[in-house]
Structure 1
Amino acid sequence: MNKQSSRPTALELWLERNATFPGNVTRLLHLIVACLLVAARGASATPCQFESQGEGRVTAIDARSLRLDDGREIRLTGIEPTATTKQALTTLLVGRDVILRSADDTPDRYGRQGALVFVGESDISVQATLLAEGDAIVSAEIADKDCAAALMAAEAEARRQKKGSWADLSAIKNAESPDDILAGIGRFVVVEGKVLSVRQAGAMTYLNFGRNWTRGFAVTISKRMIPAFESAGIALKSLENKRIRVRGWAEGNTGPRIDVRLVGQIELLGANEPTGVRP
């Protein structure tokens, strides 16, 4: 739910003062003003302003979650931590009053409430602040398109400026170097490269980045995910010979894999953007 003011806008006040025009003119003015109001409110809406799910004071922190003074444990949705996340969170949040926002307050299997966290009345989430400083990585779990785009934009700017973890050349793995990706098994990684082939085997689609399908890096996508990609305007076969950035948990034994379960885990790269290098 987006947070909107109930106060009348300048357009609404103007319409009230000029409500004595002939009927057909008044109806036309109402239509024009209604369209302008919708456009204005849409443009001014701040991303990630979901329904409030409570508030509290932060008493303890780790890299993935924080604890409030009422005992609740809050998981920071939308991001994955880096080596600097915990220290950055400690500076930002310990002893501070926060507001929790999310579309759903159902606890996860560990009893943690997932939420975007805001300090006081700030419109900028703590997650966006971490991403903008290179102290976190987008997890792609946020379904709301505007919020997801805002978080991704914050990360992209940190990559561009080589902030935080992005100052390390190994922060983005090259799909042509599977051994480097294998070294990150069990960790959340970001990989860039060219998809050499798209193959389907049973209920799984494989995006292959190497000619040796056994040892090369590959992305796996379950058949049940295909409708979600199609709804986003992406035909998996169209990714062949395209350069992409993919994020997720590195797994595999002989050849590294990332299992894609969310459309946002895959980004198309520009034609002139070099593989394995930050934009």
Structure 2
Amino acid sequence: MVSGGVLLFVPGVLFAGCPDLPRQGEGVVAAIDDGRSLRLQDGREIRLAGIELELSRQAEAKAALASLASGRVITLRGVDDAPDRYGRQPAFVFTDDETRPLQIRLLEAGHALVGTGIAQADCRGELLAAESSAKIARRGLWAEPSALKNAGNPGDIMSRVGRFTVIEGRVLSVREAGGTIYLNFGRRWTQDFAVTISRRILGSFEAAGIAPKSLENKRIRVRGWVERRSGPQIRIREVGQIEVPGAP
């Protein structure tokens, strides 16, 4: 469920947040560029907002998106239609015969992961519920047990540097150094996995009613791009990157 902007995820709970987003226009799909990008007949390039792809399953994701959207009339929804640095318009995309966005359908089939930059917490909850259904049923990328990485295995996580990854484990300690808060998942701070939170975004945590220190000794799930520092890390840019599975 959603509490003040922090996604406290409960399996099986669905929201209707994505269809309520502002309308950005419509068009006809002319081509599929990859598993989350398509082009319209009027030349616009569209990126499916809020999802990321697993590198090893790009071909499957592209084929799935083509089967759902090629030649279809689509409606675009979102809070911001400003193009990304590649000139693509980010949007939640609905075909003319479906009330669920393409993102939900790809997530339910295990062809994508919930990403970042989702402004509406209810919409994020809907996406996470779809991802969870695929994980429980072991569909698509979730057929591999290693799809959800173990925070206690830093060597495995290090192999994911530069890639979007979902990691779960228990926070052993929370420490602050300079302007950064560290959620440590191991005792060897120079080798084990850690999550970093800049003090500059603590206001969003406070607005959500949660203090990073309260995550100590809790099992959490975090998603983002793995970086190499002394050990593998994920930098938190928004509160929604952190989930507390099974929280009430």
For normalisation by structure 2, the TM-score amounts to: 0.88
Alignment partner, residue 248 of structure 1? 224
Once the two structures are superposed, what CA deviation does each residue of 1:142-177 show, in whole Å capped at 9, x if it has no partner? 111211111111111111111111110110110110
The offset of 1:110, in angstroms, is: 1.8
Correspondence for 2:128: 152
| Whole-Å separation in 2 of the counterparts to 1:145 and 1:191 | 20
Q: Which residue number in structure 1 is paired with residue 194 of structure 2?
A: 218
CA distance in structure 1 between the partners assigned to 2:238 and 2:152 by the alignment: 23
Letter of the 2:235 counterpart: D
Match of 1:64 among 36, 52, 71: 36
Q: Percent identity?
A: 57
Q: 1:270 Cα shift?
A: 3.9
Does the CA contact (< 8 Å) of 1:99 and 1:118 recur in 2? yes
Aligned length: 227
- What is the 5 A alignment of 1:52-91? 52-61=23-32, 62-82=34-54, 83=57, 84-91=60-67
| CA distance in 1: counterparts of 2:29 and 2:147, whole angstroms | 30
Give the C-alpha shift of residue 190 in structure 1: 0.5
CA deviations on 1:206-243 (whole Å, 9 max, x unpaired) are 10001000100000111111111111121100011111
Query: 1:188 is matched with which residue?
Result: 164
The correspondence for 1:113, drawn from 89, 99, 105, is 89
Instruction: Give the Cα separation in 2 of the matches to 1:169 and 1:98.
Output: 35
TM-score when normalising by structure 1: 0.78
| Equivalent residues in 2 for 1:228-247, closer than 5 Å | 228-247=204-223
Taking the aligned partners of 2:223 and 2:87, their CA distance within structure 1 comes to 26
Q: Contact between 1:196 and 1:210, CA under 8 Å: does it hold in 2?
A: yes
Structure 1 vs Structure 2 CA RMSD: 1.4
Once the two structures are TM-superposed, the CA of residue 51 in structure 1 deviates from its matched residue by 1.8
CA–CA distance in structure 2, aligned partners of residues 111 and 137 of structure 1: 22
Letter in 1 for 2:18: C
- Within-5 A mapping of 1:112-151: 112-151=88-127
CA contact (8 A) 2:35 2:64 kept: no
> Equivalent of 1:199, from 153, 172, 175?
175
1:95, distance to aligned residue in structure 2 (A): 1.4
Q: Is the 8 A contact 1:159 1:166 kept in 2?
A: yes
8 Å Cα contact 1:132-1:157 kept in structure 2: yes
Using the TM superposition, give the Cα deviation of residue 63 of structure 1 relative to its aligned residue in structure 2, in angstroms: 2.3
Q: Identify the residue that residue 277 of structure 1 maps to in structure 2.
A: none
Contact 1:46 1:123 in 2 (8 A): no
TM-aligned CA deviation for residue 121 of structure 1: 4.5
Q: Which runs of 5+ in 1 are unaligned?
A: 1-44, 272-279
Runs of at least 4 residues off by over 3 Å: none
Deviation at 1:253? 4.8
Alpha-carbon deviation of 1:254? 4.0
Deviation at 1:47, TM superposition (A): 2.2
Unaligned runs of 5+ in 2: 1-14
Shift, 1:57, TM fit = 1.3
Is the Cα–Cα contact under 8 Å of residues 243 and 270 in structure 1 kept in the other structure? no
More strand, by proportion: 2
Q: CA offset at residue 94 of structure 1?
A: 1.3
Q: If each structure's helix is expressed as a fraction of its own residues, which one has the higher value?
A: 1
